Amino acid sequence: MGNSKMSSDELNKVFEKAINNIDETKSSLTSIKEDLDKKLLITKHENDYINWRLQNIENGYVKQNTMLLLCNYPGSYDQYGNIVYPKTLSKPINLFNLNAHNDKVYFRPDAQLKVNSMSSESYTSVLKSDSIKTDIFFEEFKSPTITLEVSMDTSNVLGTTNMNVIEIDPYLPGSFDIDSIILYYYDENSIMSKNIISSVSAVGKERIVLDKKYKFVKVIFNITVNYISTNNDNVVYPFGLKHLYFYDSDFNSSSEVIVPITSKSTITRISNDIIIKDVFGSKATTILEQGIKIYSDKELTQEVEPSYPNLINPITKITSTLYAKIPVSLPIVAIQFFVFNN
């Protein structure tokens, strides 16, 4: 008498479990390897890019000492990267990442990102919140022009479709320009399209605030990569995004930032002319036009008037520091004031 033999069906099941175990282990190790490979590729390009930028500084960049970055100063505003934004009234709603009551995040399954008309899980992962992200988007492209298309199934009415802020966080910040952003949106019952941005150069970690809320259908970004690298003697254009989010935000119209304007010697007057730098570039404007108030004391009680070409308003207090209260109604990178000394 001995044990009964296993049937071929039972042996098959044992064999299949063994193969599944091997496949599971292989799949785990493959995904670890792919993740590490991608991070090493990004590290290589980021290092090369940092060296390239530092070399360019020696070859013709100059620090504008009078250009004041507005971030990290007191006031009521939001900051992303080093850019100052109007303060939001409540937490912005992320169009594709819905927060549930138990702090879990649910990604809209119908949302998709295509790169040069190709789909991939790594492309769509750019739209996902960090807590649920599963992949990294970073590639060496053969051409400097790249098209990103973000779309979702608008017949599925889960969540909001209103959008007025685009938040972008790229790898190799400053290495590419956005030539145009074309938005497709619902207007009453028809789909309209609009070129919402003409161009943004040297894109870094920033938010693009639109003039109003739009009912999102699709967005197309046309991008030109300005940084060239090589891989095995082949020219490549490395590009990738950490994330790309779309928000429905309400802003506080009383947002402001208070910055000190310092000089090496006593300031006798301050010009009405200023230069504002935002995500689109620099533009000349005036203190009066921007609604900025200048004070000669930290407590902001002694207001001073700026000087005009045909009207000089001297500052009577002996001080080398003035304080500017700057309303923040649109994103601002930096402001350049012009002061006069003895």
Residues forming the site for other proteins (CB under 8 A): 5-6, 8-9, 11-15, 17-19, 21-22, 24-25, 28, 32, 36, 39-40, 42-43, 46-47, 49-50, 53-54, 57, 60-64, 67-69, 81-82, 171-174, 204-205, 242, 277, 333-334
Q: Are strands 83-85 and 281-286 parallel, antiparallel or unpaired?
A: unpaired
Task: Output the six-digit token pair for 95.
Answer: 């169009």
Residue 300: both structure tokens together: 């902001």
CB of 126 to other proteins, least distance (A): 15
3-state secondary structure of 13: helix
Work out how close the CB of 276 gets to other proteins at its nearest, in angstroms, rounded to a whole number. Answer: 13
Which two three-digit tokens encode residue 134?
A: 């599963």
Distance CA 134, CA 116 (A): 21
Please list the alpha-helical segments (H only) found in 118-215: 121-124
Q: Which is nearer to other proteins, 46 or 305 (CB)?
A: 46
What residues are paired with 303 via a beta bridge?
295
Q: Which is nearer to other proteins, 15 or 192 (CB)?
A: 15
Fill in the amino acid letter for 10: E
Our CB check for other proteins shows the closer of 18 and 158 to be 18
* Smallest gap from residue 22 Cβ to other proteins (A): 5
Tokens of 142: 């053969």
Q: Rounded CA gap, 33 and 12, in Å?
A: 31
Nearer to other proteins, 149 or 169 (CB): 169
Q: Which is nearer to other proteins, 82 or 290 (CB)?
A: 82
Is 47 or 193 the residue whose CB approaches other proteins more closely? 47
Smallest distance from other proteins to CB 257, Å = 15
The residues pairing with 223 across neighbouring beta strands, listed in sequence order, are 146, 178
Q: Rounded to whole angstroms, how far apart are CA atoms 91 and 68?
A: 28
CB of 205 to other proteins, least distance (A): 6
Minimum separation from the CB atom of position 341 to other proteins (A): 21
Specify the 3-state DSSP secondary structure of 218.
strand
